[in-house]
Chains A and B, each alone.
Chain A
């Protein structure tokens, strides 16, 4: 009896050891590069390509840039494992240079934004995206602190702030051009340009790329939108001329394909669908009956009797061409108006200035240019046989929202999981989803099987 049990337990143990090795398998089609060659991949573009996030360029954002994610997936189909990015030093972040609010002659560089629980301008304690520390003056010494921690040549050539034609411009990374008035160079390219007079495209071509992604054109129209549509047609912030854009994009792609590289182009999202423009509703002016009566009387006293207010939600008052009027449901209020509206009577007793509002006419200009640029991008992609990522459609889909692997995604600020704390650039999760969109169109165009990335392994907005 005892012997029997001993024997059978030994047998059971052996069977158990045998069985643990019998794991179920799932046969998936093998990864393949199709007709494309991913051995040398370069990424060209602007801040979205650079991995700019939370209002600044910093290491973690760069490491989760969509080109870095793509490069990891390309490794499985013959891509080089040494995808180089001009990484920022640990703990340093640099936003887009701006004028110091109290001394406009000083140009300063803000730090990245983080979420903190703190009182807002009204004293209400809540969650607020704030700059992590004080801005630094843009000096050669400061720029020196931003030097890449990795040697070039760099596969990720994304330059925050770059417009289409900047990629072709020699000297766009020349430190001497940073201090001129106006500046002719971009500090983010000056960080890693291979020589003072090189261009982004030249630095790309010097690597003899076999594959490229190009996602450029957002800033050609975004600068105008961020300025509330105020720039005049002669201003450098006015959207890039449509015909010129067509020529620029063709010029860039001609060079990139001149040695036989294949690639993917991304088109431009509708910038007005990002949280920077959609977070504050046009009717964010919430009044009590008493406040409404006061405000109505106040405007009547100024001879603006047609501006009347009711208890509840009211359209914000905006100033256009010097005349106060009410915002229309189709107009967009820019995110920086937030505190002004909350605490300084902005949009109420003090109309919102033109640069905080995109009027219907301005939105029409943005739309017209975006559509034209996108037509040019599509035409070039088709003519050159390149993959084409329709991020305009993707962002439209995002603004209605979708769910994936149990997570809800939409274009909401902070909670939408896609956009980082500047309301413009992606979270790492958002970048991973973008990478998968690129993979989609590359697989389709070139008959490749590049595995998709598990987007859930990338962070969303971190909460305090």
Chain B
């Protein structure tokens, strides 16, 4: 059974769509997705590797979790004064996943390994819409592999830290405004793998009373750098080919921003768990999107567009109710404030304040095996922007996403 599921995950495309603020994808654990993605102040299970390594030593068992989501995202665009929807994305199904394994070494120590995908984006606008010279398609992937250790200083206080090893890739396609005799347009594709990068994920967990727990978690910024990525041109008229030379490569850099979270957990009784988190995301690291070319492209050795993201907060609440000893019912909500300032909207992440509503169930099949299922609905505020500061595409954007997910938990 296990191998089958793993094979399924392996065959799926590892990509999420930018459905949280910016290009962050907060889908790190099925139980927590059901609870509005809270978890900094809780012992969330093996997923504490992500949510708060400080809580991992309080887990009290060894276990493995495998989970994944099916991310259906849709974005509509209405060009200025066009009177209606003028373009829709045709995004492929995103499949962000998570695998966590925790080994409980002794009462004090535990060690674990997490593999997850906190950033990523596949947005496909096609090559006919009015913004095609800005973007046809962007595929951004980042996979984090995070070995983690946690130490329980006391039975109330735990600390933990993980080293994140990050690999990623980017593929960007857009139309080039040069026209052939038959009316077809040129195309540009940038494709590259990021050099391995490192970051860390550290947390403190404090079980203040039997009912109340508090956690603080910090995930560091990671800069993904592409060196020598391929620049490919297609369908460029002969007369313009000198401007778009074959064999060009590019360098680029994209920050995966830091996230500082504070969370509390509250258990008013044996059956009910409530949680609230506040996260601060260091989006101001994303100032610009710059591609440096090995040869001049359209007469310039680089292409640069301002982003000037602002730091942003995410507010989350969630709850879990044990309807029976085996069945958990969960619900949650969050508000993810946009890091994108007015004038800087872009078609790759036409971001605005994002509202998430989630529900989930957990079912313990046996002592050692349980299943979590979650459903998250994300609705981003409709946003109209001139996009005049980002070289973006002006107009009104509206995004929604439907994200069912399932996770399997094995206890040893």
A334-374 contact mask (Cβ, 8 Å, vs B): 1 or 0: 00000000000000000000000000000000000000000
B405 to chain A, nearest CB (A): 10
Residue among A26, A443, A459, A464 having the largest count of chain B Cβ atoms under 10 Å:
A26
Does the CB pair B391–A460 fall under 8 Å?
no
Binds A, one of B67-75, B252-260, B262-270: B67-75
- Which of chain B's residues 71-85 have a Cβ closer than 8 Å to chain A? 72, 74-85
Contact of A464 with B133 in the complex, beta carbons under 8 Å: no
Cα(A127)–Cα(B81), bound, Å: 38
Nearest chain A CB to B143 CB, angstrom units? 24
Known contacts A16-B72, A20-B72, A117-B238, A28 near B134 by CB under 8 Å: no
Least CB distance, A111 to chain B, in whole angstroms: 16
Residues of B within 8 A of A27 (CB): 382
Q: Is the CB of B131 within 8 A of A405?
A: yes
A462 at the interface (CB under 8 A from B): yes
Q: Is B393 in contact with A405, judged by CB distance below 8 angstroms?
A: yes
Partner of B398, one of A24, A30, A76, A407: A24
Cβ of B239 within 8 Å of any chain A Cβ, yes or no, is yes
A19–B73 Cα distance when bound, in Å, is 10
Given A115-B239, A406-B391, A461-B179; A26-B130 close (CB under 8 Å): no
Interface residues of B in 170-227 (CB under 8 A from A): 177-183
Q: Does A25 contact B (CB under 8 A)?
A: yes
- CB–CB A406/B404 < 8 A: no
A288 at the binding interface (Cβ < 8 Å): no
Identify which of B84, B373, B393 gathers the most chain A CB atoms within 10 Å of its CB.
Answer: B84
A1 CA to B394 CA, complexed, in Å: 51
Q: How far does the alpha carbon of A76 sit from the alpha carbon of B177 in the complex, in Å?
A: 29
Enumerate chain A residues within 8 angstroms of B132, measured Cβ to Cβ.
456
Chain B residues contacting A20 (CB-CB under 8 Å) are 72
Stretch of A265-273, A375-383, A447-455 that contacts chain B? A447-455
Which among A24, A31, A455 has the highest number of chain B CB atoms within 10 Å? A24
Contact A463 B180 (CB under 8 A): yes
Contact B74 A454 (CB under 8 A): no
The reply to whether the CB of B306 lies closer than 8 angstroms to some CB of chain A is no
Total of A-B residue pairs, C-beta within 8 Å: 113
Q: Contact partner of B78 among A4, A16, A28, CB < 8 A?
A: A28
Asked if B177 and A417 sit within 8 Å, CB to CB, the answer is yes
Interface pair B179/A460, CB less than 8 Å apart? yes
Q: CA separation between A23 and B240, bound complex, in Å?
A: 39
Q: Is residue A22 contacting chain B, with contact meaning CB distance below 8 A?
A: yes
Please, which residues of chain A bring their CB within 8 A of the CB of B106?
A: none
Residues of A within 8 A of B7 (CB): none
User: In the assembled complex, which residues on chain A have CB atoms less than 8 Å from the CB atom of B179?
Assistant: 459-463
The size bracket of the interface on B is 35 or more
Tell me, rounded to whole Å, the shortest Cβ–Cβ distance linking B397 to chain A: 8
Inter-chain CA distance A127–B240, complex, in Å, is 10
Tell me the minimal C-beta distance from A391 to chain B in angstroms: 19
A323 at the binding interface (Cβ < 8 Å) = no
Tell me, yes or no, whether B400 is within 8 Å of chain A by CB: yes
B237 at the interface (CB under 8 A from A): yes
B83 A454 Cβ-Cβ under 8 A: no
- Flag if B80 contacts A406 (CB, 8 Å): no
The reply to whether A26 and B76 contact each other, CB–CB distance below 8 Å, is yes
- CB B112 to nearest CB in A, in angstroms, measures 26
B52 in contact (CB, < 8 A) = no
Q: Say whether B75 contacts A24, CB under 8 Å.
A: yes
Tell me the nearest residue of chain B to A443, going by C-beta: B81
Determine whether A123 belongs to the interface, using a CB cutoff of 8 Å to chain B.
no
> Is the Cβ of B181 less than 8 Å from the Cβ of A8?
no
**CB closest residue in chain A, given B85:** A26
CB contact between A454 and one of B86, B178, B371 (< 8 Å): that residue: B86
Q: List chain A positions with a Cβ less than 8 A from chain B.
A: 1, 4, 8, 12, 15-16, 19-20, 22-31, 76, 115, 117, 127, 403, 405-407, 417, 439, 443, 449, 451-452, 454-457, 459-464
Sample 20 A-B pairs with CB under 8 A, ordered by A number: A8-B406, A15-B404, A19-B402, A22-B74, A22-B400, A25-B76, A26-B84, A26-B85, A29-B83, A117-B238, A405-B133, A405-B134, A406-B391, A407-B133, A452-B83, A457-B130, A462-B183, A463-B238, A463-B240, A464-B237
B residues sitting closer than 8 Å to A (CB atoms) are 1, 70, 72, 74-86, 88, 130-134, 177-183, 237-240, 365, 371, 373, 382, 391, 393-394, 396-400, 402, 404, 406
Q: List 18 additional contacts besides A24-B75, A25-B85; criterion CB under 8 Å.
A: A16-B70, A22-B74, A23-B76, A24-B76, A24-B398, A24-B400, A26-B382, A405-B133, A405-B394, A454-B82, A454-B130, A457-B130, A460-B179, A461-B179, A462-B179, A463-B180, A463-B240, A464-B239
